[in-house]
Amino acid sequence: MTDEQKKKYLEPALRYEIIGCYAQTELGHGSNVQGLETTCTYHPESGEFELNSPTLTSSKWWIGGLGKAANHAIVMARLITNGKDYGPHPFIVQIRSLKDHTPLPGVTVGDIGPKLGYNTTDNGFLMFDHVRIPHFNMLAKYSKVDKKTGEYIRPPNAKLSYGTMVFIRANLVMGVRYALARATTIAIRYSAIRSQFVDAANPKKFNGKTVETPVIDYTMQQYRLFPHLAAAYACFFTGRSMMDLYHRNMKNMASGDFSLLADTHATSSGLKSLTTTMAAEAIEDCRRACGGHGYSLFSGLGSFYLDFLPNVTWEGDNYILTQQTARYLFKTFRNLASGKTNRNKETNFTISYLSTYLENPKKTCPITNGEQFLNPELILSSLGHRSAYLIAESVDLIDNKQRSWNSMLVNISRISRAHCQYVLVSNFWTALQSDERLRKNKPLYEAVRDLALLFSLNTLEKELADFLASGYITPAQAPLIKEQVIACLDRIRPNAVALVDAFSLPDYLLNSALGRYDGKVYEAMTSMAEREPLNSTLVVKGYEEHIRPLTPESTIEPTEKKDDRRINLADVDELRVGQYDDEIPSWRATTQETDPTVIRKMIETILSDLTSTESSNLSTDSVLSDPTLKFNLLKRAIKELGKEIPSHKLGQLTTVDEVIAYFTETETPPLRVRDLFEQEGAFPPNVRFEEKH
Amino acid sequence: MTDEQKKKYLEPALRYEIIGCYAQTELGHGSNVQGLETTCTYHPESGEFELNSPTLTSSKWWIGGLGKAANHAIVMARLITNGKDYGPHPFIVQIRSLKDHTPLPGVTVGDIGPKLGYNTTDNGFLMFDHVRIPHFNMLAKYSKVDKKTGEYIRPPNAKLSYGTMVFIRANLVMGVRYALARATTIAIRYSAIRSQFVDAANPKKFNGKTVETPVIDYTMQQYRLFPHLAAAYACFFTGRSMMDLYHRNMKNMASGDFSLLADTHATSSGLKSLTTTMAAEAIEDCRRACGGHGYSLFSGLGSFYLDFLPNVTWEGDNYILTQQTARYLFKTFRNLASGKTNRNKETNFTISYLSTYLENPKKTCPITNGEQFLNPELILSSLGHRSAYLIAESVDLIDNKQRSWNSMLVNISRISRAHCQYVLVSNFWTALQSDERLRKNKPLYEAVRDLALLFSLNTLEKELADFLASGYITPAQAPLIKEQVIACLDRIRPNAVALVDAFSLPDYLLNSALGRYDGKVYEAMTSMAEREPLNSTLVVKGYEEHIRPLTPESTIEPTEKKDDRRINLADVDELRVGQYDDEIPSWRATTQETDPTVIRKMIETILSDLTSTESSNLSTDSVLSDPTLKFNLLKRAIKELGKEIPSHKLGQLTTVDEVIAYFTETETPPLRVRDLFEQEGAFPPNVRFEEKH
């Protein structure tokens, strides 16, 4: 934007007077921005641009905030001036009236409908039918169109915008670190609470009795979760290093030095691809590692996963992006191989490991026992050699075997992955060596070093086929790596909960019954279920219509047919809740206690029985936040006092005083519907009250 | 159930008079059924059982149909009689009244809340507080309790119930085949329609012009999708073979022959684990391969994925199940190695490949060129050798190196996978050899054979590390496999759409804008978006409250503040819809045509212009089902006739007659709100009409 454009549009937008959106993607065009179809034709005679959507596929689609909220859009449209098409450029267009929010003439706009997640955003569609906007509205910081002649004026340097992409991607990698932290916090905490089966070789004892083993003690569970924990730390260190590199590069570019740009941009493309794919996998792995309860939305993992998923597609599809990375790696390799570039190992990661490879492409791994795999230099040499080997193999196929780019896409995706795994591992070890706080605190250093080892060795193990196929690692060495991975899991186990607690993600943010800091998993599941709206009524809506007619008349006694949506005062002015069949043998006292003093005393006695083992300071107006305590209290109270509590009342009794009050109301008078409606929560919100005329 | 129990409970249930559910899983107990806590204690003095939930974690949880609908449950509870705990047994319990559906005394029941998918099922929780049921209600086909003495009577043969599990798992594998078919149908059809970028080395031409390349022509897209297509066929053949095996085994067991049971049961456990994991991955891979639109629920892949996900957890968690498979494989290997079992290659898959391995554990792959990898016998030998190698390695670690079961769980999971991949590939080739319809139709045979090759070679490629680490395949052979995989993709490409069409999944079942049989992807996306409820109003609810106050008064003209939820007849008896700002240059006719004859003629002319190229038999009362045609018709009609159509009207004009009628209503009289409310759809359902008193 020019300064005038900022004044007219950006300033009011910052005051929320304008609600904007960015309209680039089209119904038929996502990955290929150059293929956009919306046109914006300049008419010098009137000094206006004319936006048009020539086809159905040119409809803007997926635009966040556009569906219902935005009144302006920055629209990417093909600039056509003096009969020539200059490709996509950005224009500011008002799309809805500021008077009444109705769409302006020629504008068709709406919401694109439901999505897998992200449903708080009104993604929209937009079509233009020859909509005219003033010359002023083309964003003109870089490219311009001369108002009088319509002549196109090119931007000074197209590379400038690449810097911003690096910034966005560094933030995405930091976002991945956060996503991994959140998912592993939930799954690891829950795995420490949840027990299943008895590990026969190493049974857990509690009060001298054999109990089930916490699932976190099973190697398989550790293998499923700990690598993701290690990856959270890896992404943190790489995100931090990308951000540093971004700032250095921006500073350099400002003084005309573009030397950092190519590597930074290519690596950031591959890292966005690799890390967001890793995170999507990790969240789902964590969810599945929570067993059945992972499928409940109370786990906090389901919606989070769905909201994270767009990351693998937006800001560059994760497969498409790898081509940018590989193209740069091939070029760098060719330049180093031909001697066009000096083999200078100080320049950057890429040049360094490619140079090492070119010095000795037949190098092999010199390991004879497993412990030698714990050496970071050896790990990095292995990863560097593998990436370089894959690059060399593909460059050979393209340059010497006439393989087409298209036929190489599978290799290309692997190469980008290999390069970025090198970068992640390398940044992890660099951080361990250079971070003062880690170096000065030995136990902390060792805990984080074990994560670095796990991340490194698990990467070697997952990608073992590449190392074996290149001949760098021998079949005899392969089991040594696997052994060391299991040994890492064993060392990390005692620190696992502390390592997720260290992320300090508060409970309200985790929004998870399973991942609570206090470990009260089952209490939280229960109390979340109590709040489920379906549980606010005793009998499900639709019972009268759908279930009752199935029951033969001989089984049921005739009763009034009720409409639970609308109660007419004239028809029923009295009702009782909680009346039951009494045909089943009852275990509770046969006479109902009515003396308020006795009731209070009894409940206090039960309470003191139940809490005597703990040093409890529960007063009668404290909230009964422990469901086990509440359950036992109510159970004994029902038994001793002879009064039943209907299920739907359970959620309403939150303090001991309320429990006492409930049992004291022995002579509940028939309730007047009129009065019930005065009480908040007495009826579900879908019940309306109508006074009879 | 005994016959008396069937009469009392099953018969009314089949008439829907009883709504039942199966209550096994507990809040703290899923995988380990033996760990269930709910008790059912027999009281011989009254001839009753007493159900009780002693802890919070013993609460039944996840029970399908229980939350709001069921009135009876089959409850798995620990049978306690004469002071002894006999572990979980099934009991029939009535939980809700047949009079009014309220929970019976001592029963706490409710819905467990929202889930990632499957939200049409009311999964519920259930607790018992000393609930008594008659002696009759213990399911007593196998185990029994003597009514008078309380003596426990054991079942005749515990193995009988394993047969049923094989049946359920064979059905799950068939379900996987269906899931893979559905997901690949959508993704492959859409990939044939969707074009992105131009493949420079092989540009597509249309009418002499270079156009974007359909994404299905990119190797990467083929590599992402075709293996899942091949897997759909693989699972079909294996599901069919499992079902055969199930019937053979049931017949054998009826005559006392249990020889098939162990292998069938162990293999079915591993196959359930492997194939449901494959399918969950495949559906999500297909979704991502649809780019941004895959994230829209209109893709038909999102909700389908979420509904499929429980398969990886229920009916045996996919990780836990692999232990059953491996335990059997270890036992079989030990028996063959020690000579306790004869090496008879005819018995079953397992004995056959283990015997071959034991004859020559150091065997290597004799391949020197890629084409030799297309030999099914060679493929099966490779897969058999690998599975046997992994089993032998683990048996050695357990028997000779004192490794604990727990420390072997990662290997165990790989072994089950390796074994079942062998089974899938083997069944695929067996079907190709034995299926008459395939053998007699050469082109069909070749198309399916290419899928078998892709499935086989892609499995070798994915698991390459195992083959290399065992020394069976050499580093020099590895690239040959990868080459052949790419060659398979190339051969499958021309048949890909036909191979998914062959599944014959109808559009209504796919429920996907992207996967339609007719390929009208963008038209379907548009017409589905038109039906989005948010698009039924022109201005979003909440505009007056949340957006309008942000707009400064200088920008907007003062108008009456409206409450869009409740319109009072006294305040506003007239309103006009679709009035626009006219400040922007308009491209449409400046005067509005009012003559009905002219209007009808004009619209007919436009229509015949637009449809002249096709042999169209569109009459004026046909539905405008093609959105492109509708868009162009309305656009030209607006232009020629000078009357605007507000966005929210677009969805209401479905036939040409309605379009004509809309343009003919030139002198729209001010509408009376009262009358508008008579018209269906004139107002969104949240608008209420109040007559002023």
| Closest CB from A317, A582, A627 relative to B291 | A317
For A19, the closest of B297, B393, B547 (CB atoms) is: B547
Based on the fold, state whether residues B500 and B549 are members of the same structural domain.
no
What mean pLDDT is reported for chain B?
88
Residue A283 and residue A179 in contact, taking contact as beta carbons nearer than 8 Å:
yes
Instruction: Verify whether the Cβ–Cβ distance B526 to A404 is below 8 Å.
Output: no
Residue B369 lies in a domain: yes
| Residue A442, amino acid | K
Residue A635 with chain B: CB contacts under 8 Å = 129
What confidence tens digit (pLDDT) does each residue in B511-562 have?
Answer: 999 999 999 999 999 999 989 999 988 899 999 999 998 888 766 544 333 3
Q: Are residues A27 and A70 in the same domain?
A: yes
Q: Is residue B603 part of a domain?
A: yes
Interface touch B110/A647, C-beta < 8 Å? yes
Contact list in B for residue A69 (CB cut-off 8 A) is 540, 547
Block means of pLDDT (10 residues each) for chain A, 693 residues, are 94 93 96 94 96 96 97 98 96 94 94 95 96 95 93 82 84 95 98 94 90 96 98 96 93 90 93 98 98 97 97 94 97 96 83 95 94 96 98 97 96 98 97 92 95 98 97 96 97 97 94 96 94 91 90 58 37 34 47 84 87 64 78 84 75 84 70 59 53 50
Q: Do B410 and A587 touch (CB under 8 A)?
A: no
B89 and B96 in contact (C-beta within 8 Å)? no
Token pair of A658 as six digits:
């309320």
Q: Which of B406, B560, B629 to mutate to test the interface with A (most CBs of A within 10 A)?
A: B406
Q: What is the CATH number of the domain that holds B593?
A: 1.10.1200
pLDDT at residue number A678: 63
Q: Is residue B515, in this structure, part of any structural domain at all? A: no
The reply to whether A517 falls in a domain is: no
Contacts of B113 in chain A (CB under 8 A): 296-298, 528-529, 531-532, 534
- pLDDT tens digit sequence for A232-259: 999 999 999 999 999 999 999 889 898 8
From the list B295, B548, B550, the residue facing A115 with the nearest CB is B295
CA angle A476–A479–A485, rounded 5-degree value: 145
- B292/A543 Cβ within 8 A: no
Looking at the complex, report in whole angstroms how far the Cα of residue B193 sits from the nearest Cα belonging to chain A. Answer: 10
- Judged by average pLDDT, the poorest of A619-623, B13-17, B65-69, B134-138 is A619-623
* Domain shared by A152 and A171, yes or no: no
The pLDDT of residue B113 is: 96
CB spacing of B196 vs A319 below 8 angstroms: no
Active site residues of A: 315
User: Does the residue A516 lie in any domain?
Assistant: no
Buried b vs exposed e over B271-305: b needs ≥16 C-beta within 10 Å? bbbbbbbbbbebbbbbbbbbbbbbbbbbbbbbbbb
Residue A552 has a pLDDT of 81
Exposed/middle/buried for B94, CB within 10 Å: 0-12, 13-18, 19+? buried
B111 and B230 within one domain = no
Chain B residues in contact with A540 (beta carbon < 8 A): 68-69, 101, 122
- Catalytic residue numbers of B read 315
Q: Which residues of B378-397 are buried (b: 16+ CB within 10 A; e: fewer)?
A: ebbbbbbbbbbbbbbebbeb
Sort B507 into a burial class: Cβ within 10 Å, 0-12 / 13-18 / 19+: middle
- Would you state the pLDDT for residue B682? 54
DSSP symbols for A363-397: ------SGGGGG-HHHHHHHHHHHHHHHHHHHHHH
First to last CA, chain A: 65
DSSP class per residue in B194-207 = -B-S--TTS-EEET
If asked whether residues B108 and B189 sit together in one domain, one would say: no
Domain closes at, from A156, A182, A207: A156
Look up tokens 């993701």; give the residue: A228
Q: How far A317 CA sits from the closest chain B CA (Å)?
A: 7
Tokens of A76: 């990417």
> Is B529's CB within 8 Å of A469's CB?
no
* pLDDT value of position A573: 36
Q: By CA distance, what is B527's nearest residue in A?
A: A112
* Helical axes A349-359 vs A409-434, angle rounded to 10°: 110
Query: Collapsing DSSP states into helix, strand and coil, what is residue A185?
Result: helix
Q: A379, A408, A391, A326: which is closest to A354 by C-alpha? A: A391
Distance in Å from the first CA to the final CA of chain B: 66
Q: What confidence score (pLDDT) does residue B157 get?
A: 73
What are the start-end ranges of the H helices in A534-693? 596-611, 627-641, 647-650, 656-664, 673-676
Do you know the residue count of chain A? 693
**Do A415 and A350 meet the contact criterion of CB atoms below 8 Å apart?**
no
Closest alpha carbon to B599 in B504, B542, B667, B552: B667
Model pLDDT, residue B674: 60
Query: At which of A123, A156, A189 does a domain end?
Result: A156
Residues A388 and A326 in one domain: yes
Q: Which residues fall within 8 angstroms of residue B105, CB to CB, at 6 or more apart?
A: A580, A581, A582, A584, A586, A588, A644, B131
Q: Where are the alpha helices (DSSP H) in A297-441?
A: 302-308, 318-337, 349-359, 376-400, 409-434, 436-440
**Residue B435, number of CB atoms within 10 A of its CB:** 16
- The whole-number pLDDT of residue A425 equals 98
Name the pLDDT band for B586 (thresholds 50, 70, 90): very low
Residue that is last in its domain, among A156, A181, A196:
A156
Q: Are A464 and A559 in a shared domain?
A: no
**Minimum distance, in Å, between the CA of residue B198 and any CA atom of chain A:** 9
Of B319, B413, B465, the CB nearest to A468: B465
Exposed, middle or buried by CB within 10 Å (0-12, 13-18, 19+), for B202? Answer: exposed
- Environment class of residue A546 by beta-carbon count within 10 Å: exposed (0-12), middle (13-18) or buried (19+)? exposed
User: What ipTM was reported for this prediction?
Assistant: 0.82
Find all residues with CB under 8 Å of B145, minimum gap 6, and list them.
B42, B79, B81, B135, B138, B151, B152, B153
Contact A219 B109 (CB under 8 A): no
Nearest-CA distance B303 → chain A (Å): 7
CB contact under 8 A, A586 and B218: no
Cβ(A223)–Cβ(B410) under 8 Å? yes
Check: CB of residue B183 under 8 Å from CB of residue B190.
no
**Domain holding A251: CATH number?**
1.20.140.10
Q: A590 burial class (0-12, 13-18, 19+ CB within 10 angstroms)?
A: exposed
Determine whether the interchain pair B465/A478 forms a contact, defined as Cβ–Cβ distance below 8 Å.
yes
CA distance B686 to B393: 68
Confidence bin at B352 (pLDDT 50/70/90): very high
Rounded to whole angstroms, the Cα distance separating B341 from B334 reads 9
- Find chain B residues with C-beta within 8 A of A405's C-beta: 199-201
**Which one of B131, B540, B551 has the shortest CB-CB distance to A17?**
B551
| Confidence at residue B338, expressed as pLDDT on a 0 to 100 scale | 95
Comparing alpha-carbon positions, the chain B residue that sits nearest to A118 is: B295
Cα separation of B183 and B299, whole Å? 10
Is the domain of A483 the same as that of A556? Answer: no
- Reported as a single tens digit per residue, the pLDDT across B215-233 is 999 999 999 999 999 999 9
Residue B480 inside a domain? The answer is yes
Does residue B91 share a domain with residue B111? yes
The answer to whether A345 touches A355, Cβ cutoff 8 Å, is: yes
Residue A683 lies in a domain: no
Q: CA B146, CA B155: separation in Å to the nearest integer? A: 13
Contact call for A551 and B319, based on CB within 8 A? no
Give the model's pLDDT for residue B585.
37
Residue B564 CB: number of other CB atoms within 10 A? 17
| Position B101 pLDDT exceeds 90 | yes
Same domain, A442 and A347: yes
The pLDDT tens digits of the residues spanning B622-667 come to: 778 777 788 888 888 888 888 877 766 777 788 888 888 888 886 5
Check the CA dihedral B618-B623-B625-B631 and report its sign. positive
Residue identified by tokens 């099934």 is B90
Mutate to test the interface with B, among A288, A414, A454, A466 (most CBs of B within 10 A): A288
Of residues A418, A474, A427, the one with CA closest to residue A452: A427
Closest CA to A658 of A608, A610, A605, A621: A621
Domain count, chain A: 3
DSSP string spanning A643-687? ----HHHHTT--BHHHHHHHHH-TT-PPEEHHHHTTSTTSS-TT-
Is residue A513 domain-resident? Answer: no
**CATH code of the domain containing A45:** 2.40.110.10
Does one domain contain both A77 and A200? Answer: no
Query: What is the residue range of A79's domain?
Result: 3-156
Let me know whether B146 and B180 are in one domain. no
Contact assignment for B409 to A218 by CB distance below 8 Å:
yes
